Amino acid sequence: MEKLLGTKTHRVPLAWISLLRILLGVIFLTTWASNLSKGFYTPDGLVDFFTNVFPQSENPLAWYAAFINGIILPIRGFFAPFQLVAEFLIGFFLLLGFLTPLTSFAGIIFIINTFLATFGHDWPWSYGMMLGILGVVMVTRAGRSIGIDNLLFNRRGEPRIPFLW
């Protein structure tokens, strides 16, 4: 197996993976800023997003469209501000390298949901690429280089809760 994976001869410094983490943080934050300027983080903006921008009536995943229409939109007064804060924090924490494994996992859940909600409208591999990078950032604990997680690790060692930093 080691021959196949090449673990003895090739190593990638964590700093390079941290640059991918920082790039993802910038992507999340620029998308967040764009969505904020378009008003998508308001209850009415959320309805507009799911009825005009990415109409769920055209989503080939009927089960997910039913989830959006039956669960998310009825609680849009709660969900819109939740999305505003969650998307910002994911981007900000990735940028800073703070609680990177946990933040990456939240990002994975967020991207999967976005992919399902926009299914058939966007290029699917852009989501696949983000999911792959988030997975690598998560398992390598990329916040331990060029990030706050490095400070936490140096001061406190391994966290009591696995994969917190």
Q: Dump pLDDT digits (tens) for 134-151.
A: 999 999 999 999 999 999
Residues ≥6 apart with Cβ < 8 Å to 143: 18, 21, 96, 97, 98, 99, 100, 101, 103, 149, 150, 165
pLDDT tens-digit readout, 35-54: 999 999 999 999 999 999 99
Task: Identify whether the C-beta of residue 129 lies closer than 8 Å to the C-beta of residue 65.
Answer: no
- Which residue bears the tokens 């849009």? 76
Q: Under DSSP, is residue 147 helix (H, G, I), strand (E, B) or coil? A: coil
Query: Given a cut of 60, is residue 1 above it in pLDDT?
Result: no
How many other C-beta atoms are found inside a 10 Å radius of the C-beta of residue 97? 26
pLDDT, tens digit, 9 for 90 and up, residues 9-30: 667 789 999 999 999 999 999 9
Tokens 């990329």 correspond to what residue? 142
- H/E stretch holding 126 reads helix 124-140
pTM of the predicted structure, to 2 decimals: 0.90
Confidence class for position 123, pLDDT limits 50, 70, 90: confident
Q: What are the backbone dihedrals phi and psi of residue 33, each rounded to the nearest 5 degrees, phi first?
A: -65, -40
